[in-house]
């Protein structure tokens, strides 16, 4: 079929919205009619050239990262199923999980689906079944799809392993948010940080990820949630997601946390900035006290950046630094679970969407993100 998509032909250019050809789903694949796609900062990292496919993986798979259809936070309806699909049928509503979960690899078998072996293909963006493309430009060039989903398009073809079936009555434009940002943020507090009742938690960066880390920390029973961001309205908004205190910078947060804990410092800190760099990790670790834990959930120039840590902190202070992808969640458990919490009025999703755009407005959406205007911009189809 013919459809449209926002394509990034190479880094440091704009998204180009073009007509494309979309093939029928092959074995194990489904065609999804998307209702909405969130504008996550990770797609912006493709634009800035920060987030490159690991060269070893690229060489091994003989794949190029570009051109790529962006978007990895979407939800929609299955409109066609390929041969051998057993878990979905036409008409099913699905959230596209930005990490596929095959259910069979060692990570999936241990319940760590966020580490599914198919995740090696996140930035290679080909079909996980046979490493070919179903998406083609008008000029006949194979197109990659961000995180194996490519949600900047009204239709896409994905592996059934990227789909999590959800209840039909849920609003798809809100459910889309759980395909990346909400689960990543909430899970970074609940799963990765393991926030416990009564703890003091600092969340650095209040975008779509950080706001959900605040929300997760509050839900897990934190006593103090200190929300850190230089943008005034984001700090104000964090209070509605459960933040108890706010700071405009890490330095200001350090003073606040020292005061709140009588010098003991926080139990947990979460780095959720739009651009994570290695030099932010040591200041984050300084916010946590002995036995405390810092979580890096944000991404940025991930292959290029190293982290320097103090050995006293890691030994005598026994601080922990924990990595995080997709909130260390299990998408098939956590996506439906989060949506139940939304239905019951206990998880905020509506409040995260600060602007909606058409597909043609994708570059405007990212410009608004750069200017600090959005928590989540959302393309609706």
Contact positions vs ligand CXF (CB under 6 A): 40, 42, 72, 98, 122-123, 147, 180, 184, 299, 325
Taking CB within 5 to 8 Å according to partner kind, which of ligand CXF, Zn ion, none is near residue 217?
none
Cβ closest to ligand CXF, residue 180 vs residue 217:
180
Q: Does 37 bind Zn ion (CB under 5 A)?
A: no
Please report, as residue ranges, which positions from 241 to 270 form the binding site for Zn ion (by CB under 5 A).
none
Cβ closest to ligand CXF, residue 25 vs residue 71:
71
Shortest Cβ distance from residue 120 to Zn ion (Å)? 17
Q: Please report how many Cα atoms fall inside a 13 Å half-sphere around the Cα of residue 63, on the Cβ side.
A: 29
Taking CB within 5 to 8 Å according to partner kind, which of Zn ion, ligand CXF, none is near residue 299?
ligand CXF
Shortest Cβ distance from residue 104 to ligand CXF (Å)? 22
- Which residue stretch of 33-41, 49-57, 85-93, 358-366 sits at the interface with Zn ion (rule: CB under 5 A)? 33-41
Q: Does 212 bind Zn ion (CB under 5 A)?
A: no
Shortest Cβ distance from residue 73 to ligand CXF (Å)? 8
Shortest Cβ distance from residue 119 to ligand CXF (Å)? 8
Cβ closest to ligand CXF, residue 25 vs residue 100:
100
With helix as H, strand as E and coil as C, how does the chain read?
Answer: CEEEEEEECCCCCCCEEEEEEECCCCCCEEEEEEEEEEECHHHHHHHHCCCCCCHHHHHHHCCCCCCEECCCCEEEEEEEECCCCCCCCCCCEEEECCCCCCCCCHHHHCCCHHHCHHHHHCCCCCCCCCCCCCEEECCCCECEEHHHCCCCCCEEEEEHHHEEEECCCCCHHHHHHHHCHHHHHHHHHHHHCCCCCCCEEEEECCCHHHHHHHHHHHHCCCCEEEEECCCHHHHHHHHHCCCCEEECCHHHHHHHHHHHCCCCCEEEEEECCCCCCHHHHHHHHHHEEEEEEEEECCCCCCCCCCCCCCHHHHCCCCCEEEECCHHHCCHHHHHHHHHHHHHCCCCCCHHHEEEEECHHHHHHHHHHHHCCCCCEEEEEC
Cβ closest to ligand CXF, residue 225 vs residue 299:
299
Burial of 167 (0-12, 13-18, 19+ CB in 10 A): exposed
Cβ closest to ligand CXF, residue 127 vs residue 212:
212
Q: Please report how many Cα atoms fall inside a 13 Å half-sphere around the Cα of residue 373, on the Cβ side.
A: 13
CA-based R_g, the chain, Å: 20
Asked if residues 377 and 363 have their Cβ atoms less than 8 Å apart, the reply is no
Taking CB within 5 to 8 Å according to partner kind, which of ligand CXF, Zn ion, none is near residue 330?
none
Taking CB within 5 to 8 Å according to partner kind, which of Zn ion, ligand CXF, none is near residue 193?
none
Cβ closest to Zn ion, residue 75 vs residue 180:
180
Shortest Cβ distance from residue 286 to Zn ion (Å)? 27
Cβ closest to Zn ion, residue 28 vs residue 210:
210
Taking CB within 5 to 8 Å according to partner kind, which of ligand CXF, Zn ion, none is near residue 34?
none
Cβ closest to ligand CXF, residue 114 vs residue 256:
114
Taking CB within 5 to 8 Å according to partner kind, which of Zn ion, ligand CXF, none is near residue 122?
ligand CXF
Q: Does 177 bind Zn ion (CB under 5 A)?
A: no
Shortest Cβ distance from residue 233 to Zn ion (Å)? 22
Contact map string, positions 179 to 208, toward Zn ion, x by CB under 5 A:
-x----------------------------
* Residues of the shown chain interacting with Zn ion in the complex, contacts defined by CB under 5 A: 40, 42, 180
């Amino acid at each position: 079929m013919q459809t449209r998509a926002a394509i990034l032909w190479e880094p440091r250019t704009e998204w180009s919205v073009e007509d494309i050809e979309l093939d029928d789903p092959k074995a194990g694949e489904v065609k999804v009619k998307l209702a909405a796609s969130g504008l996550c900062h990770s797609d912006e990292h493709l634009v800035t050239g920060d987030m490159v496919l690991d060269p070893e993986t690229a060489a091994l798979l003989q794949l190029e990262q570009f051109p790529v259809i962006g978007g990895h936070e979407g939800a929609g309806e299955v409109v066609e199923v390929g041969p051998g699909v057993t878990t979905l049928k036409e008409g099913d509503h699905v959230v596209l999980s930005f990490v596929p979960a095959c259910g069979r690899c060692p990570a999936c078998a241990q319940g760590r689906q966020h580490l599914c072996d198919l995740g090696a293909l996140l930035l290679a963006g080909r079909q996980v079944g046979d490493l070919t493309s179903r998406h083609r430009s008008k000029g006949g060039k194979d197109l990659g799809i961000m995180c194996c989903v490519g949600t900047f398009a009204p239709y896409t073809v994905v592996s059934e392993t990227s789909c999590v079936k959800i209840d039909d009555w849920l609003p798809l434009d809100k459910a889309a948010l759980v395909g990346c940002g909400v689960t990543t943020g909430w899970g970074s507090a609940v799963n990765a940080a393991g926030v416990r009742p009564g703890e003091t938690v600092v969340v650095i960066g209040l975008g779509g990820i950080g706001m959900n880390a605040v929300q997760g920390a509050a839900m897990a029973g934190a006593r103090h949630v200190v929300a850190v961001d230089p943008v005034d309205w984001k700090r104000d908004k964090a209070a509605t997601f459960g933040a108890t205190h706010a700071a405009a910078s890490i330095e200001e947060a350090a003073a606040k946390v020292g005061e709140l804990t009588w010098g003991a410092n926080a139990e947990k800190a979460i780095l959720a900035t739009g651009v994570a760099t290695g030099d932010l990790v040591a200041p984050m670790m300084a916010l946590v006290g002995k036995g405390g834990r810092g979580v890096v959930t944000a991404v940025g120039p991930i292959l290029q950046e190293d982290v320097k840590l103090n050995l006293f902190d890691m030994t005598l202070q026994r601080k922990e630094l924990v990595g995080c992808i997709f909130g260390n969640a299990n998408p098939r458990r956590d996506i439906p679970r989060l949506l139940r919490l939304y239905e019951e009025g206990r998880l905020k999703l509506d409040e995260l969407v600060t602007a909606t755009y058409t597909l043609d407005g994708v570059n405007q959406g990212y410009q608004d993100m750069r200017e600090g205007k959005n928590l989540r911009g959302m393309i609706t189809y």
